[in-house]
Structure 1
Amino acid sequence: MSYQPKPSPDNSLDGRALSDNERIKTESNFLRGTIAEALDDQVYGGFSPDDIQLIKFHGLYQQDDRDLRGERKKQKLDPRHSFLLRARMPGGICTPEQWLQIDKYAQERTMVGSIRLTTRQTFQYHGILKRNLRPIFQGLDEVGIDSIFTAGDVNRNTLCTSNPVESEFHAEMYELAKQTSEHFLPNTKGFADLWLNGEKVASNEAESEPLYSNVYLPRKFKIAFVMPPQNDIDVHANDISFVAIVRDGELVGYNVLVGAGLGHTHGDKRTHPRKADDFGFIDKKDVIAISEAIVSVQRDWGNRSDRHLSKTKYTIERVGVAAFKAEVEGRSGITFAESQDYKFEYRGDRIGWIKGIDKKWHLTLFIENGRILDFPGKPLKTGMREIAKVHKGDFRFTANQNLIVAGVAEKDKAKIEQLAVEHGLKTEDLSKQRENSMACVSFPTCPLAMAEAERYLPGLVTQVEGMLDKYGVADEHLVLRVTGCPNGCGRAALAEFGLVGKGPGRYNILLGGNREGTRIPKTYLENADETQILDELDSLIGRWATERNPNEGFGDFTVRSGIVEEVVVASRDFYA
């Protein structure tokens, strides 16, 4: 089917040339491209430029080791290509049996052996050689795991609050998140053709994508479900966030937040992070219908000429909130009611043991940077394997790169505790600051990385801990996030103190977000090196420790004291 968009109300995109990604999708035979032919060629370790874009829809990114890139180039060798595979796990729930299979293929089919928990509430592998791609896909499929639509211009892994305390509401929200994820899967059978049986499919096979069309969406799309008072999925990082409203012991519906996103482009002030607009309240039975309407409006009205401006947030800014909302109501036949009151009091994860109302225990393990591997003195990967062998509940990945051992019976609690402590998964010396710090992967594998993030964060946190102790507030913390580029994977644009990679050893400093995750920070200093970063941190923490109001968070203090202005309208206020 040929894509025929409905015109947007402003006509501002009429006549503009489409980006090359639109050509690639149009010619792809529903995301197949020449991927099958490339898989048969084991001499070259990578894919063609067009197929590099298409494999993203199948959950893959082509990468190479950037630590080795320069030396290999000197030797006139191709880059050492390998692949990142990101799984689709709506709501982040995984069985022990699935974990053991995940662990097995990390060990047998990747060069690094690690499992990386992500900010999209799933896991990913790094360092897969091309010859190992099909075996991994097929091995995961054996236990019901796939990676379709975890990247590319589509709805990606659907998030859901991991809160194990409100267990009956969590179960209801999880089922809805899972249904939403399934609803937005592709109609094409290209994924199964390419990865699960290896058969080549004729290019003229009759197929269609009734929802997405043959060119899918203008850019990536993200949906999340969250239950106040815990903002553990960062509502202002998603195209749609459904905020659960509970009244008289019943989950009655959701406020619908639309048009958030954190990515921006260095040097292009047309781009910026953006908070969502609250469109209003809907009954819980209308979630999928409203989601489909929002997705279809973005499909038709989104910018397919300039990918820097193609996200939902820019579509809403271009046509206006009122026009976008009215179109969603018209397409869905559902009228938004007045938004219901709710309040976020904190975000992040509650580390340690918590007893749910189901009388079962839930152990949230802090996993620094989400990297599960056997480190010297901390065999995390072995520990998770041993827990999976005896655990009778499930595992829950959080949107903050942590892992919950959920549904532990009282009689099994001591054994899980013992295994977690023995393998360094649970420690007594974990600071609040380390709990509330996060980074993206960045170097050496991410092709977009401009500066270190995952490898830089642990040492930076240690220095911040020292500053907090120096000023007598060692039990305090600031929400600290580091991302190696401005694309937003580490969610630095919702931090109280965020670092966005600008170049090797240099970052833009973002300042003034809040602990609840409901305010975008402002660009405070550009292109800062480590000395400047540490000097600014030391000075700011010193002032906060002595000048703050009772219980005032770091970000709130920096705004109230006039160190930075509050970001009210990001397109106007985000940049220094």
Structure 2
Amino acid sequence: MAETIAPKLSKNETIKENSAFLRGTILEGLADVITGALSDDDTQLTKFHGIYQQDDRDVRNERRKQKLDKAYSFMARVRVPGGVCTSQQWLEMDRLADTYANGTIKLTTRQAFQFHGIIKSNLKQTIKEINEACLDTIAACGDVNRNVMCNPNPHQSAVHAQVQKLAEDISNHLTPATRAYHEIWLDGDKMASSEEDVEPIYGKTYLPRKFKIVIAVPPSNDVDIFAHDLGYIAIIEDGKIIGYNVTVGGGMGMTHNNSATYPRAADHLGFILPEDAIKIAEAVVTTQRDNGDRADRKHARLKYTVEDMGLDTFRAEVEKRSGVKIQKLRDYTFESTGDRYGWVKGVDEKWHLTLFIQNGRVLDTAEYSMKTALREVAKIHTGDFRLTANQNLIIGAVSDAAKSSVEAILNEHGLMDRLNTSGLRLNSMACVALPTCGLALSESERYLPDLITDIESILDEAGLRDDEIVIRMTGCPNGCARPFLAEIGLVGRSPGKYNLYLGASFTGNRLNKLYRDSATQEQIIAELREILVRYAKERNEGEHFGDFTIRAGYVKAVNVAKTDFWAEN
């Protein structure tokens, strides 16, 4: 019998194995003043600490001509489980953005803060001060469970409190146990030579790839539950959560021209009781730890593990590891993936205001002083701030007495006017892309607002300005802004060119499909003009744009991602 040769592990597996539980030589690299960068191996390890090394690609060529090193800086991602922070924490994030970063705050698609432009000599102090604000960056990136998201749900605050606690509990349970983070960034006591670090859930090499968890509260699917590795759908009876429908195996990333890779909408695993939620989380994580592909990182996400094992086998393994019998799914309904803008009064009799933050970038411009306005609100606000999964912001728990004061500040700085825009723009998202993301093939955050302005002229002509149509853009196919679940998805192909995807469902449970490859702006506008005008004239009552593009024959529905996503239309 021929000997079976085990596949060679990816380089990242060796880096993790030899890292002494994520320490590597990060401390030595931080002390090296010769370069603004860290070593290649440490650059991989700092992701587990919530840090990405980047450089300004806008000046890369000019610096190369001048024989200068790249303009290195770092992005730090701050975990905010469930997206809820205090007014004081918001003020600290505002201060840190000005003191150490590029003066802006980025609200991510996963309810986290991001700081861009931190230089190496300021990195340790930045992380230290983030922790002093009772927030952290550990496990915000890397091959571990990342920030746990949940529905901010301002109009069902009693239920929100329960899902918020679950998000925090899961996050705490799955946070890496290594003391490396505290040693490196917080000057914690170093481990004695006689001691050993232990990772009871992850083990020495952690997970094969990143892992993402969300909690949704129907009828809102604002967390895009089907885009994530593990999801919990709250089942509510008589105003109380009686349990959760569990989803597994969602994920957005793929590689252009590689049909072995594909985005995937999560499968339903079944129903569990509230007290079993953390057991199931750990069991799913350890099943992925032991069965995920550690040889090919393009095939290492949980979505491929579920696909390869089969859902029934995967479910049986999770039941075995957790000791929980997963029950039959309960009925639920999702109505949208977007945010509910404006003032809403919750069951706690407090007001909640959802603001539109275009692409999640909090900054002051000539048109509006967003960063200043939110700082002034935070100074008087006794409630909380809630980051949404759509890069927007909720000013939460505002009393009747304080409502007028908050709104006056926002009106003074032009933020309330930001809600008077098209339904398309209010349902838009973009990743950062250029100039800092090393994976970006095209613009995204800097380009999408202008593209939407051009599309809005078509919407005005067709009478569709107020219609909710979901549009998302990314600079590469990794899918950070979840473009493959957008009714109009634009994915960077090369400078100035994008793949145009159509046909996702408005409620986020069906992927879109490639309609045009490598389209320029002129081609995108021309294609969308024809389809949007026809949609305005021919749509059925209540029919959403993504459903129409399938019925009208522009694309075929993606029912099984592995076979349908890459198939011809």
TM-score interval (norm. to shorter):
over 0.9
| Matched residue type, 2:467 | E
Match of 1:67, SS?
Answer: coil
1:213 aligns with 2:203: yes
Could you report, residue by residue, the CA deviation over 1:499-522 in whole angstroms, capped at 9, with x for unpaired residues?
010110011111100111111001
Match of 1:61, SS?
Answer: strand
Name the structure 1 match of 2:186: 196
What are the residue-to-residue correspondences of 1:257-272 with 2, within 5 Å? 257-272=247-262
> Which of the numbers 349, 369, 375 marks the counterpart of 2:359?
369
Alpha-carbon distance in structure 2 between the residues aligned to 1:143 and 1:489: 27
1:244 aligns with 2:215: no
Alpha-carbon distance in structure 1 between the residues aligned to 2:243 and 2:296: 36
Contact 1:39 1:130 in 2 (8 A): yes
Structure 1, unmatched stretches of 5+, are 1-11
Alpha-carbon distance in structure 2 between the residues aligned to 1:250 and 1:44: 55
1:282 aligns with 2:272: yes
Name the structure 2 match of 1:413: 403
Alpha-carbon distance in structure 1 between the residues aligned to 2:71 and 2:233: 44
1:230 aligns with 2:250: no
| Matched residue type, 1:481 | R
Alpha-carbon distance in structure 1 between the residues aligned to 2:186 and 2:364: 30
1:325 aligns with 2:315: yes
**Cα distance 1:464–1:13, how it changes in 2: closer, same or farther (>3 A)?**
farther
> Which of the numbers 115, 119, 134 marks the counterpart of 2:109?
119
Match of 2:464, SS?
Answer: coil
Alpha-carbon distance in structure 1 between the residues aligned to 2:388 and 2:312: 34
Alpha-carbon distance in structure 2 between the residues aligned to 1:445 and 1:313: 28
Match of 1:525, SS?
Answer: strand
Could you report, residue by residue, the CA deviation over 1:296-323 in whole angstroms, capped at 9, with x for unpaired residues?
0000000000000000000111111111
Alpha-carbon distance in structure 2 between the residues aligned to 1:83 and 1:35: 14
Name the structure 1 match of 2:388: 398
Name the structure 2 match of 1:8: none
Q: CA deviation at 1:425?
A: 2.0
Which range moves more in the overlay, 341-350 or 469-478? 469-478
Q: CA deviation at 1:15?
A: 0.7
Alpha-carbon distance in structure 2 between the residues aligned to 1:331 and 1:572: 31
Match of 1:231, SS?
Answer: coil
Match of 1:347, SS?
Answer: coil
> Which of the numbers 350, 355, 361 marks the counterpart of 2:345?
355
Name the structure 2 match of 1:422: 412
Q: CA deviation at 1:202?
A: 6.6
State the TM-score, normalized to the length of structure 2.
0.97
Which range moves more in the overlay, 507-516 or 297-306? 507-516
> Which of the numbers 162, 166, 183 marks the counterpart of 2:173?
183
Contact 2:159 2:239 in 1 (8 A): no
Could you report, residue by residue, the CA deviation over 1:364-395 in whole angstroms, capped at 9, with x for unpaired residues?
11000100011113111111110000000000
Equivalenced residue count is: 564
Match of 1:392, SS?
Answer: coil
Alpha-carbon distance in structure 2 between the residues aligned to 1:316 and 1:83: 34
Name the structure 1 match of 2:477: 486
Alpha-carbon distance in structure 1 between the residues aligned to 2:152 and 2:5: 43
Q: CA deviation at 1:472?
A: 2.1
**Cα distance 1:14–1:298, how it changes in 2: closer, same or farther (>3 A)?**
farther
Deviation beyond 4 Å, 4+ runs, structure 1: 198-205
1:163 aligns with 2:163: no
Name the structure 2 match of 1:381: 371
1:466 aligns with 2:453: no
Alpha-carbon distance in structure 2 between the residues aligned to 1:425 and 1:458: 16
| Matched residue type, 2:197 | E
1:536 aligns with 2:527: yes
Q: CA deviation at 1:261?
A: 0.5
C-alpha RMSD over aligned residues: 1.3
Name the structure 2 match of 1:516: 507
Structure 2, unmatched stretches of 5+, are none
Which range moves more in the overlay, 176-185 or 138-147? 138-147
Contact 1:29 1:203 in 2 (8 A): no
> Which of the numbers 105, 110, 114 marks the counterpart of 2:96?
105
Q: CA deviation at 1:218?
A: 0.2
Which range moves more in the overlay, 416-425 or 157-166? 416-425
Q: CA deviation at 1:481?
A: 0.5
> What fraction of aligned residue pairs are identical, expressed as a percent?
52
State the TM-score, normalized to the length of structure 1.
0.96
Q: CA deviation at 1:125?
A: 0.2
Could you report, residue by residue, the CA deviation over 1:259-303 in whole angstroms, capped at 9, with x for unpaired residues?
000110112110001111111100000000011000000000000
